[in-house]
Structure 1
Amino acid sequence: MKKLLLGAILIFYSFILFAQNEVLTNQSIIDMLELGFSNDIIVTKINTSKNNFDTSIQALKELKEKGVSNDIIVAMMQKNNNTEKQMKKTSRSGIYFKVGNELKKIHPTAFSGTKTNTLGTALTYGIANAKIKSTMNGKHSNNVIDTNIPSFYFYFDDKEQNSFVVSNWWFTVASSPNEFLLSKLTIKKNRRELETGKVNIYAGNSIGVDEDNTIGFEIETINDYEFKVTPSVPLLPGEYCFFYRGTVPQGGYNNQSVFDFSISESCNIETKYKNDDYVWIVKDGKPRNYKITSTEIRKDGVYYILQQRNSWEPLECKESDCYSSKEEAIKK
C-alpha cells in the first residue's frame, strides 16, 4: 500500500514538474486544435503557460492555413510581447537572448590569455602577418541557443541618468549595436579563439577583430535605448560572440571580454552536397562540372562556392541549381 501511495505521489509531482517546464510553440497550438480543444480552452492555456511563439508574417500565414482562429492568434501575439514589456519595465542594460517566454542575459566572458603565431612571419622574413589570438577557457559557452536565427536584445543605459556601472561599461559608453561585431570563434583543444589583431615588422600592429571574418546582422529599433538584433544569415552549430569595437574609456578599462554563446548541435542544417564534392550545373546552356570549395547558409537557402578545373574564377550557385550527374543536369 505504501509503495502504491509513494508511486502515486511521484507521478503527481512529475506531472507538476512537466507542466512547469512546458513551453508552448506554434506546433503546440496546432496540435491542440487538431485534438478538438475549443478556442477558449486554447486561449486560457496560452495565458497560463510559457511560450516560444513565432509570430512572423510567414508563421502567421501557416497558422491561418491550419485553421487557427484570429482570437487564438491575437492571444499568441499578446503573450509573445510580454517579454519585451517586462524588460522595458526593469530597464536592465546588456545583451539578452530569448529562452521560452523569458530573456536570459549574456554576461561578459574574459579572455584567459593571448598568443601570437610568429612562425609564418619568421619563414617569410617578416612579410607575412603574425595573428594575435585571444583565447577563452572551455570548448563551449554556457549560453546555449536552440535556433539558427536567434534574436538578441540590446539594452543601453540612458546617458542622461549618468548610470555608469563599471562591470557593464559597454552599455553606457555605447549607444547602438552598430558598435559591436558578431564573430564566429575557432575551437582549439579545450579553448575558444578569436583573432583580435595582427603584427607585422614593416606595417606595424593592428588591433581589432578582422571584419572579413564577421557576420552581419539586422537591427530593429525598439526605442532610443533598446534594439532587437537578428543575424543576416542562419548560424550553423558552433561558438560565436559579440565583440565591442568602439572606443574604450580611459581609467583602467579594457576590452578583454566578449559576449559569447553557442548554437546547439541540434540546429545542424543538412546540405545535399559537402565541400570537395563535384557537382554539375548548367552554364551558358551547357552542363559543366565544378568542385565545391565552400558552403554558405543564407535565409533563402544553401549556396555553394564552386571552382572549375584549370580556372581561378570562383562561381556562386544555389543548391537547387546543382546536380549529381551530367545526365540530371541535361534533363533539367
Structure 2
Amino acid sequence: MTKFFTLETAGIGLAVASLAFASPSFAESLTVDKVLELNALQVGDDAIIAKIQSDGTVFDLSTDDIIELRKKGLSSGVVAAMLKTKGGPKVSLDSPDPMVPHAAGLYVLEGEGAAAKMNKMNFTVSSQAKTGGLLGYAFTGGIASMSVKVAIQNDTAPVKTNGTPRFYFFFENTTQEGAANTWASGANTFVTSPAEFTLVQLMKKKGRREARVGSMNIAGAKSGVMDKDRLAFRANEVRPGVYEVTPAQPLQPGEYGFIFSLGGAGTGGALTARIFDFSVG
C-alpha cells in the first residue's frame, strides 16, 4: 500500500537520539521525522535523496510543510526529492493486470497464470497504395470494380498469438509521454476508443501484406475498409480509458491487424493508415 506522510501526522520534532539501524527485514519506512534525523546527523544530501528515491514512501507536502522543513534545516534539494515522490504512479509494459497503469498503447495478453504478461504492439504506418482489378475495370468500362489497397511491409507480423487473443487498449492519458505518437489521428486529434479501429485480415503477398481500403466502379467510389473485409470484435471498458478487446469469432491462421485512417491524407485519409499487426499461428 502506498504510504503518505504529512508534517501534521508525522509530528515533526528533531530527534536527539542516534539513529538505530535495523536489519533489512525489519527496516522501518522512511518518515518525515527520519528525514530530519538523517539531516541532523549530517549524512549528506546525496545519501538522503538516494534513500528517499529507493524507499518508496510518498510524501504529501503542503506549502506550509515545505516552509517548515526549510526552517528545520532541510536543503531545497532534499525537499524537492520528497515532492517528486508524488509525481504519479509508475507505468508497466508487461503486467497482465489491466488495472495497473501501462504506457499508452495496444497490448496483447500472452500466457496464462503466473506466466501471463502483456506484450506491447508496435504500429506500422503505410502511405503506399496500389490498385487491383485494373484490367477488369478497364475491359468492362467500369462495371467491374477496381480495388485500392495499402501495403504493409514484411511477410508476417512480429507479434504471434492464438486464435482467441485478448487485447488491451490503453487510451487513459493522451498527454502521457509517447501517447501522442501512438494515438494521434491528425492535427491535435486522438483516437480514444477501439470503435475507431477496424479489425481486418491482411492478404499475404510476397514480401508484404495488403489491406483493401477502397473500391471504384462505374457507380462511384468508396473509401475505407470494405464491410465484407471487417471482422467483428467485442470491446469492454474495464476502467476509464482502458478497453479489453476480443474477436467475436475465433481467428483462423493468418495475418491480421487493427487499422485506423490518419486524417488529412489520401482518399479521406484511407490511404494513410496506422496498422497494429499480428499473426495467428
TM-score higher than 0.5: yes
User: Which amino acid counterpart does residue 239 of structure 1 have in structure 2?
Assistant: E
Query: Which residue of 2 is the match for residue 199 of structure 1?
Result: 216
The answer to whether 1:220 aligns with 2:236 is: yes
User: 2:169 is matched by which residue type in structure 1?
Assistant: F
- Whichever residue aligns with residue 109 of structure 1, its letter is T
Aligned length: 177
Of 150-159 and 210-219, the range deviating more from structure 2: 150-159
- Give yes or no for the alignment of 1:244 onto 2:257: no
Deviations 1:104-156 (A, max 9, x none): 111111227221121110111112221001112221111111x2100000111
Please say if 1:154 is aligned against 2:169.
yes
1:193 Cα shift?
0.9
User: Separation in 2 of the partners of 1:205 and 1:217?
Assistant: 27
1:159 CA displacement: 5.7
Structure 1: 5+ residue runs without aligned partners?
1-80, 265-332
| Distance in 1 of aligned mates of 2:176 and 2:185 | 16
Paired residues of 2:104 and 2:176 also in contact (CA < 8 A):
no
Q: Indicate how the Cα distance of structure 1 residues 167 and 82 shifts in structure 2: closer, same or farther if over 3 A, else same.
A: closer
Match of 2:110 among 78, 83, 99: 99
Deviations 1:287-331 (A, max 9, x none): xxxxxxxxxxxxxxxxxxxxxxxxxxxxxxxxxxxxxxxxxxxxx
C-alpha change, 1:161 and 1:167, in structure 2 (3 Å) is: closer
The alignment-based identity, stated in percent, is 32
1:248 to partner: Cα distance: 2.3
1:231 aligns with 2:258: no
SS at match of 2:101: helix
CA separation in 1, counterparts of 2:166 and 2:185?
20
- Give 1:174's aligned amino acid: V
- 1:185 maps to which residue? 202
1:244-296 deviation per Cα after TM superposition (whole angstroms, max 9, x unaligned): 15x7269xx984321100001xxxxxxxxxxxxxxxxxxxxxxxxxxxxxxxx
Aligned AA for 1:227? Answer: Y
2-structure distance, mates of 1:125, 1:228: 46
Seen in structure 2, the aligned counterparts of structure 1 residues 239 and 164 have a Cα distance that, compared at 3 Å, is closer
Would you say the 8 A contact 1:173–1:249 is kept in 2? no
More helix by share: 1
In the superposition, the TM-score normalised over structure 2's length comes to 0.56
Contact 2:104 2:179 in 1 (8 A): no
C-alpha separation in 2, matches of 1:155 and 1:125? 47
Q: Which has the higher contact order (CA 8 A, sep 6+)?
A: 2
Cα distance 1:164–1:240, how it changes in 2: closer, same or farther (>3 A)?
A: closer
Once the two structures are superposed, the pairs formed by residues 23-62 of structure 1 within 5 Å of their partners are none
